Amino acid sequence: MRPLILIAAALLALAPLAACNTVRGIGQDLKKGGEAIEKAAK
């Protein structure tokens, strides 16, 4: 039971770091998608 609690605590501690990378990645993807739409519209 104790190892399960330690694993859960480690995952919760790492969650904010993963979220930052995810938000940054989504922003980059949206930017690239917008650029593709602009090129297609020209």
The tokens describing 20, both together, are 């930052």
pLDDT per residue over 12-36, tens digit each? 887 776 777 777 778 888 898 889 8
Handedness of CA 26, 27, 33, 37 (dihedral sign): positive
The pLDDT value recorded for residue 6 is: 87
The tokens describing 42, both together, are 């020209």
Number of domains present in the structure of the chain: 1
3-state helix, strand, coil split of the chain in percent (to 5) is 95, 0, 5
The pLDDT value recorded for residue 4 is: 86
Q: Which residue has the tokens 């990645």?
A: 25
**Residue type for position 11:** L
The pLDDT value recorded for residue 16 is: 74
* Structural domain harbouring 12: 1-42
Task: Note if the pTM is more than 0.85.
Answer: no
